[in-house]
Amino acid sequence: MHYHNMIYIVLAAAFVLWNVIAFALYGIDKRKAEKKQWRISEAALIGCAFLMGGIGSFLGMRAFRHKTKHLKFQVLVPLAVVVNLGVIALLYFLGLFDLCDCA
């Protein structure tokens, strides 16, 4: 395996891990809200989504039915997913992710 292929694997693993964390944050915040305990700030939840955690945030919102009635989250979390996918597409089209280069 080439060195640059290993970098892609590490980046993909980090992306998946970060989205799992984003997903979990919505579950944690939901539980904290139900118990009237300390909460994760809305800025942190949305910021996590825009920092490449959009898919996990979106899925967490839906799975835990948390923040789904807030207009801010209805707009910004799906927008974060689009931005995240746009960043990945841009990096690919700029040639930074040449996944087929196995030579």
In a domain, 99, yes or no: no
Instruction: Name the residue with tokens 């087929």.
Output: 100
Q: How far apart are CA 75 and CA 9, in angstroms?
A: 31
Residue 28 has pLDDT above 70, yes or no: yes
- Number of domains into which the chain is organized: 1
In a domain, 56, yes or no: yes
103 compared with 17, residue with greater pLDDT: 17
In a domain, 63, yes or no: yes
pTM above 0.85, yes or no: yes
Q: How far apart are CA 77 and CA 42, in angstroms?
A: 11
In a domain, 79, yes or no: yes
In a domain, 38, yes or no: yes
Amino acid 7: pLDDT: 82
Give per-residue pLDDT as tens, 41-87: 999 999 999 999 999 999 999 999 999 999 999 999 999 999 999 99
Q: How far apart are CA 48 and CA 102, in angstroms?
A: 33
In a domain, 98, yes or no: no
In a domain, 101, yes or no: no
Tell me which residue range forms the domain holding 77. 3-93
- 3-class DSSP assignment, residue 1: coil
In a domain, 100, yes or no: no
- In this predicted structure, which of 3-12, 21-30, 75-84, 87-96 has the lowest mean pLDDT? 3-12
C-alpha pair distances (Å), 21 with each of 27, 58, 89, 96, 99: 10, 12, 22, 25, 26
